Structure 1
């Protein structure tokens, strides 16, 4: 190919004249095209055209390569090049890219479709602006009139395209006179050529859930679900396809969030009783999520009213509901038995028998009454089931049944052995001789502690990632790991920046050159806007480390423009200062051998002997100040005189400070916690408020971390809070005090802040009232997943023998009394704890009941019955409990309310007092 022809093509690329460029390329013979492909590739590698060229002309470069390269494999690889993908949006370029390969044979384009579809992102990511690369695959499929690719990623891309505010898809192949692309103002449009193929796949493909639940307007709900229902009502989508798809998805199971869009779709379709798949809905009753079971109960009731249900399926349904842990579904089973029990007495009695062990006294009594009503109709199977389960009942209810099923000789029943869990967790039990005892001097957090006889489950912390060994490895990890990163991932990258630039700064700068021109935050005329967020979040601070390596002068200008440090929570200020310290080091062109504070344990702890080894590598030079402060905070809390003597041989000031720390142990700040009105307004809700006072001998550079009052800027996310246990892993009580300034205002948040508390409990140092207060707040969180994290934190402390049970119970009673937390939510968490540690749950309950039992004549609070039922299951006879007189008065009240029945049951369990 002559130089003149190439100069013409290059001018078209630089001018972004895509139509003329394609016209010029398509008339070239194959050999000339291959020559163009080589020249285009050289544009991205040659020194005369740096990465900035790709950034300015990405679309034209993509089109030129796609039109010139010979094989579908080459074109697929070309379209996936990182420097081009990041700078040209494939969604808006699909028409031009499809035109670039329009002259290729159909089989060649089918090969390209398969290769591009295989490169689509996998499940687990959200693409509200469209999945990268999907539009081109879809356009090629439509042009060929082929069946869409079978992989789930293509289905997920179609679903995400439906929630994109506007979308384009060609309905006719490109060429002269091609009509303009249809603009679909609504999602899931009946004109969509992929609609018929995609709808059935929505119910089976992985990765579509996030798109199905995406809401531009929360009041509108899932746009895809609503449009599918509307199209079905209009006859544009077969109702049977949608109903069968929902039923099949129900049978796959999953949590409430996984089935929610399909439950919504089912409700909007309003199936007739004849369309309802009774067998499928009966099968989901036993294990389905709560919203799904609620739907199934409603629909089965409609079928029953319309014409009845097969007797075998009726029996299966009521038995499945009776075994559910939720009271509302047991109640539904009892209601159904009340309506149809006489028609199927034996199956109904078997279901009733399974409810005799219910903790709820009202449900037990109702089940006994129904069993008595069905006794005249009972066959042998029903009688056997009732008599086998009757010993689970209290004496008064057994007497009720005895009049209908004969007397029960309870004394002849074999006594059940104590629960293994109860025995293992009993305070008087001792570890088996084969179990090693845990050392009281061991500082390493669980799960590294020696095993104990406790059966309490622990959620292990993820292991630390391996260090990064090379500049190319640093560049790959830095570019490929997206937000949000964990503290462990940030620590790994920060350590690599310091160590690798100390070895060979030029190699690191070369490895990061692509990142500088394609992925850094914002620029205009080569200057980066000095937004404050560039100086606050670890993500952008890490990006500034990279900028300081590849462009030190630009980094220094940015640092000067950002100005002074902004206030914030003190633990996070230390995180920010440590990152900035590395930025300034790299801006100066200086290096240090390594970072001192890189953790050696998943809790954020640092082994003292490792820290001494690292200081020895400084050969008497002083380390980075904030890095050394962080390293000191990550040491285990107890003194270690042997290692202190070794540290004392270091000649630097840092070595002397380390020796003093190892001789004396961690500073012990004073933490107090109580309920107060933080603002003088009647409408303000009282909150738990912790205060921290540093010890008198605390060094000034450390004291600021032990004083909560100057803290500001609490609009932080969970990704910031996740650092706090890592910043102070030997000061759990202080971390809990900081969290108490944040948790009460986030009682309805889904950002995972209680998970930070659960992670902190794996650390070291004392726990007390602040920890108990943070646990109580977490236990009262509005979201179930957050309450589960609180239960995990409580169980971690129980397994380590460190639960502040008295403080926790007292503060639960106080917070419930002030309506700061809902009792029913707290009871649910204590129920989870009691399943593994009833003795410890009882310690918490005894303190909580002191405040929560009503005074004589006062109205019991909502949710007290459930708390009393739980206390009965955990009961240990205490010595003169303060709440015993209040319990006696409550149990002696007239009537049969559930609260009174549960009070009588607890009083009976504690006799003799």
Structure 2
């Protein structure tokens, strides 16, 4: 028995040794990154061996995550091998899908799909289908590794996934010149095409701007398939209409609109969707609204649109701002009135809606339509129309009175400019009083990151330092519960890898307090010299991060009892007396201030007003080096104020377009105290040599905290914003004017940089950016800090050289004037117009600017002469440019009205009283 036992044991040991060698060979191949060897080595392993190997693979995966960029060339092959080996070793569908779709393995593991398919070749089809479904629910995998998921679907026979990621991958795989043939041959086309029309964002390949004859034009291919019966035509029409009704970005509506046009709905399909067309005409983006308007016009011409339906859709279209849509609608109404004059009672009140349109040409057209059919309506409707005529521009007042008679009492009150109230400083609330309140704030700030208002970020950081110093154990316990599932709250051996690429806002401070950041990582981040940045925004992010790394190093210790740089005011500024008291608290505690915290506090302290001088005396009396530095800083010249040169446009000798940002040259003034006494991350503010900005693609998470670095220096902030705004003027960058609010509320002189930034913002491509600029313009005017002549002259140069488009500037000026600031808007346009009227090259779109100027003058009663206006107004033409030039000249030379005379008399009387 003993011999037999020994033989059995020997066989077991030999088998284990062989199995161990097989596992080791697999692990060796994975560590070497030999992905092509993995499928063969997996075949040697039984289920038990695979479970054993899986434990080692998980440990290796954790190790590889921490290698960092320095080992990137070594890391990628290992990750590829890990992906394949782990896929073959997992037995559960959920676990296998999680491994295959893991971000760290999937991001760099392209080209492994066939190997993954090889190791899953012997699995049950139902299991494979489950894996395919789970991978399809992972957007990055479903789109980026679409061919893998599609093959798994094909092998399993499961229903085709319809997730957004899978549809994106599918559309991307069918972009070749044989698009029609590939769609026709794909059995999943009838399922996935309707799903495309349901997506909130249309796949990129379907939005390509190619003609209908191009082989890659999706709408043409789908219409052909509908004609062949592969796709259901009615479903396509329904899907297109539903997608257009849902609205969205013009980019996402381009495909369904093009498809619907090519499908060319039948008369029955058009008649059955009258309410849908009306909804599109009212609310959809211009191209969609124009198509709906075209369909409705056709129905009206065919007699298929009732007068009530026409009135309903017209009232909504005439309320739109797009001039082409409004003009087209007025033409449609005029045609309908010619066909059926009896409809005047229902339609003329709708036409009168255009009396309030911002374009005086449209007002004139509407007035003519009303005048033509006025006799067709009764006295009550005529009174209603006369009342609506009060909305007309003063330019049409005479014509309206000829038509309706006197339309109301003459307004003889003097013109009053309407400007917003000047914003006042708001105190930042004290840190949360309890740990529970603080944790609520930290959860909000942690999730919001770059979207968090700066004052909320600062308050949360201040509260974190405050309570960590006084109630550390209670705070740690509360954070452990509130952030148990946070991405940085993993096991300790994984924690050091979480903050390799940044601080992620207050997260790094919380993680450090909880022991989830390696001390050496914090030390390295604090002592390393800041990397050279090609743009100022990278340097600003480095300042914000430096504060957070320093807080992470000191939080919860006796060396950081409070934050010196916590702002007093919502702009980020600190009251001098408050900073003195904080330094006194440090002195009494026998603690030296943290270097970055002190430097940021100095940059934030307010220097304006008598309080700064008194605080300087108190700071000197503290008897500490920090107090002396504060006193010196308060007595020094007030601003960093970079020198700014804006170069004239020059032709690029290489033939390429000249970037607007290349014309901005900054020279930061030398500040010895900053260069010699501030931490390295701030020293660029002390006068480091600068050159024209490099191409800037930096768009950091912490950008809303940039203004708080120097809230007491408006001109410096404006210089930092210029490259960002330049991108929004030239290119399609959206949201670039976010800093204009901070610029309006900041302190310090308003000089060349601020006015140039405002000029750029008024010329931004997107309306929401221009709206921020208008708000800033009005706030500066309300605070009497706007130099209208300087802004107008700056804009003149930008418009003449083609940098700022006149139509964008006209839109911004019209918006500003519509708030009631007609005088302020005219004060900016008055120095701008002569340069445009006398320019050698005609300025396209100048007529729009003249229209806004004329409206301002008519309403505020300004008078005077504009160089070049007579020459334009005297031309024998009827273009908008000439018509509006005549209108502006007439307004500037109009006899003083009773209101203007009264205003002049009051001004004279006030001057005499003052004398």
- Cα 1:878–1:70 change in 2 (3 A) is closer
Secondary structure of 2:518's counterpart equals helix
What do residues 768-823 of structure 1 show as CA deviations (whole Å, max 9, x unaligned)? Answer: 33211221122123444543443354356467665444432343345435554232
Provide the C-alpha distance between the structure 2 equivalents of 1:47 and 1:155, rounded to a whole number of angstroms: 29
- Cα 1:322–1:628 change in 2 (3 A) is same
Provide the C-alpha distance between the structure 2 equivalents of 1:332 and 1:310, rounded to a whole number of angstroms: 18
Taking structure 1 as the reference length, what is the TM-score of the superposition? 0.69
Question: Does the Cα contact within 8 Å between 1:634 and 1:730 map onto a contact in 2?
Answer: yes
- Cα 1:216–1:11 change in 2 (3 A) is farther
Question: Does the Cα contact within 8 Å between 2:574 and 2:601 map onto a contact in 1?
Answer: yes
Q: 2:467 is matched with which residue? A: none
Q: 1:147 is matched with which residue? A: 159
Deviation at residue 222 of structure 1 after TM alignment:
8.6
Question: Does the Cα contact within 8 Å between 1:768 and 1:807 map onto a contact in 2?
Answer: no
What do residues 301-355 of structure 1 show as CA deviations (whole Å, max 9, x unaligned)? Answer: 4556678645444333333322222221111012212322233433432321111
Say how many residue pairs are matched.
793
What do residues 467-519 of structure 1 show as CA deviations (whole Å, max 9, x unaligned)? Answer: 59899865779978999x9xxx655467679x66xx96xx6339x9xxxxxxx
Query: Which of 886, 889, 913 lines up with 1:900 in the alignment?
Result: 886
Question: Does the Cα contact within 8 Å between 1:673 and 1:769 map onto a contact in 2?
Answer: no
Counterpart check, 1:410 vs 2:373: no
Q: 1:749 is matched with which residue? A: 731
Q: 2:715 is matched with which residue? A: 733
- Cα 1:63–1:160 change in 2 (3 A) is closer
Q: 1:318 is matched with which residue? A: 314
Question: Does the Cα contact within 8 Å between 1:162 and 1:187 map onto a contact in 2?
Answer: no
Query: Which of 200, 207, 223 lines up with 1:206 in the alignment?
Result: 200
Counterpart check, 1:715 vs 2:712: no
Q: 1:633 is matched with which residue? A: 603
The 5-angstrom pairing of residues 382-781 of structure 1 reads: 383=382, 385-393=384-392, 407-408=404-405, 410-411=407-408, 426=418, 461=453, 463-464=456-457, 466=460, 474=488, 492=506, 508-509=517-518, 548=524, 568=534, 609=578, 612=583, 624=595, 629-638=599-608, 640=612, 644=616, 647-648=619-620, 653-662=625-634, 666-667=638-639, 669=641, 694=669, 705=685, 710-719=690-699, 722=703, 725-737=707-719, 739-740=721-722, 747-752=729-734, 753-781=736-764
Deviation at residue 731 of structure 1 after TM alignment:
1.7
Counterpart check, 1:11 vs 2:25: yes
Structure 1 stretch displaced more, 184-193 or 730-739: 184-193
Provide the C-alpha distance between the structure 2 equivalents of 1:642 and 1:395, rounded to a whole number of angstroms: 56
Query: Which of 219, 241, 251 lines up with 2:235 in the alignment?
Result: 241
Counterpart check, 1:103 vs 2:100: no
Deviation at residue 678 of structure 1 after TM alignment:
7.2
Question: Does the Cα contact within 8 Å between 2:644 and 2:665 map onto a contact in 1?
Answer: yes
What do residues 585-614 of structure 1 show as CA deviations (whole Å, max 9, x unaligned)? Answer: 999xxx996798976587565676577489
Secondary structure of 1:324's counterpart equals coil
Q: 1:44 is matched with which residue? A: 58
Counterpart check, 1:297 vs 2:293: yes
Deviation at residue 850 of structure 1 after TM alignment:
3.7
Q: 1:263 is matched with which residue? A: 257
Greater helix share, 1 or 2? 2
Question: Does the Cα contact within 8 Å between 2:718 and 2:754 map onto a contact in 1?
Answer: yes
Question: Does the Cα contact within 8 Å between 2:128 and 2:152 map onto a contact in 1?
Answer: yes
- Cα 1:227–1:788 change in 2 (3 A) is farther
What do residues 380-427 of structure 1 show as CA deviations (whole Å, max 9, x unaligned)? Answer: 8865653442344478967767887xx5453479x9999xxx98x746
Q: 2:350 is matched with which residue? A: 351
Secondary structure of 1:202's counterpart equals helix
Deviation at residue 102 of structure 1 after TM alignment:
5.6
Deviation at residue 240 of structure 1 after TM alignment:
3.3
Deviation at residue 825 of structure 1 after TM alignment:
1.3
Secondary structure of 2:811's counterpart equals helix
Q: 1:846 is matched with which residue? A: 827
Secondary structure of 2:234's counterpart equals helix
Deviation at residue 284 of structure 1 after TM alignment:
0.8
Runs (5+) with no aligned partner, structure 2: 1-11, 30-34, 68-73, 430-450, 465-475, 481-485, 677-681, 902-915
Question: Does the Cα contact within 8 Å between 2:79 and 2:105 map onto a contact in 1?
Answer: yes
Taking structure 2 as the reference length, what is the TM-score of the superposition? 0.69
- Cα 1:662–1:494 change in 2 (3 A) is farther
Provide the C-alpha distance between the structure 2 equivalents of 1:395 and 1:795, rounded to a whole number of angstroms: 24
Q: 1:807 is matched with which residue? A: 790
Counterpart check, 1:131 vs 2:143: yes
- Cα 1:816–1:885 change in 2 (3 A) is closer
Deviation at residue 256 of structure 1 after TM alignment:
2.5
Question: Does the Cα contact within 8 Å between 1:692 and 1:707 map onto a contact in 2?
Answer: yes
Deviation at residue 711 of structure 1 after TM alignment:
2.2
Deviation at residue 739 of structure 1 after TM alignment:
4.5
Provide the C-alpha distance between the structure 2 equivalents of 1:565 and 1:197, rounded to a whole number of angstroms: 52
Question: Does the Cα contact within 8 Å between 2:80 and 2:109 map onto a contact in 1?
Answer: yes
Query: Which of 176, 187, 190 lines up with 2:184 in the alignment?
Result: 190
Question: Does the Cα contact within 8 Å between 1:212 and 1:261 map onto a contact in 2?
Answer: yes
Deviation at residue 247 of structure 1 after TM alignment:
0.9
Provide the C-alpha distance between the structure 2 equivalents of 1:48 and 1:887, rounded to a whole number of angstroms: 74
What do residues 429-473 of structure 1 show as CA deviations (whole Å, max 9, x unaligned)? Answer: 9x8xxxxx9767x7879xxxxxxxxxxxxx994642855989986
Q: 1:364 is matched with which residue? A: 363
Question: Does the Cα contact within 8 Å between 1:321 and 1:330 map onto a contact in 2?
Answer: yes
Provide the C-alpha distance between the structure 1 equivalents of 2:41 and 2:839, rounded to a whole number of angstroms: 86
Deviation at residue 252 of structure 1 after TM alignment:
0.9
- Cα 1:482–1:193 change in 2 (3 A) is farther
Question: Does the Cα contact within 8 Å between 1:188 and 1:227 map onto a contact in 2?
Answer: no
Provide the C-alpha distance between the structure 2 equivalents of 1:398 and 1:817, rounded to a whole number of angstroms: 34
Structure 1 stretch displaced more, 718-727 or 757-766: 718-727
Deviation at residue 828 of structure 1 after TM alignment:
0.6
Q: 1:157 is matched with which residue? A: 166
Question: Does the Cα contact within 8 Å between 2:796 and 2:832 map onto a contact in 1?
Answer: yes
What do residues 237-291 of structure 1 show as CA deviations (whole Å, max 9, x unaligned)? Answer: 4443333222111111234334233333334555566654554223211111112
The 5-angstrom pairing of residues 746-895 of structure 1 reads: 747-752=729-734, 753-794=736-777, 797=780, 802-817=785-800, 819-836=802-819, 838-839=820-821, 842-852=823-833, 863-871=845-853, 874=856, 882-883=864-865
Provide the C-alpha distance between the structure 1 equivalents of 2:586 and 2:227, rounded to a whole number of angstroms: 73
Runs (5+) with no aligned partner, structure 1: 122-126, 168-182, 432-436, 446-458, 513-544
Provide the C-alpha distance between the structure 2 equivalents of 1:48 and 1:668, rounded to a whole number of angstroms: 48
Secondary structure of 1:364's counterpart equals helix
Provide the C-alpha distance between the structure 2 equivalents of 1:165 and 1:546, rounded to a whole number of angstroms: 48
Secondary structure of 1:751's counterpart equals coil
- Cα 1:397–1:574 change in 2 (3 A) is closer
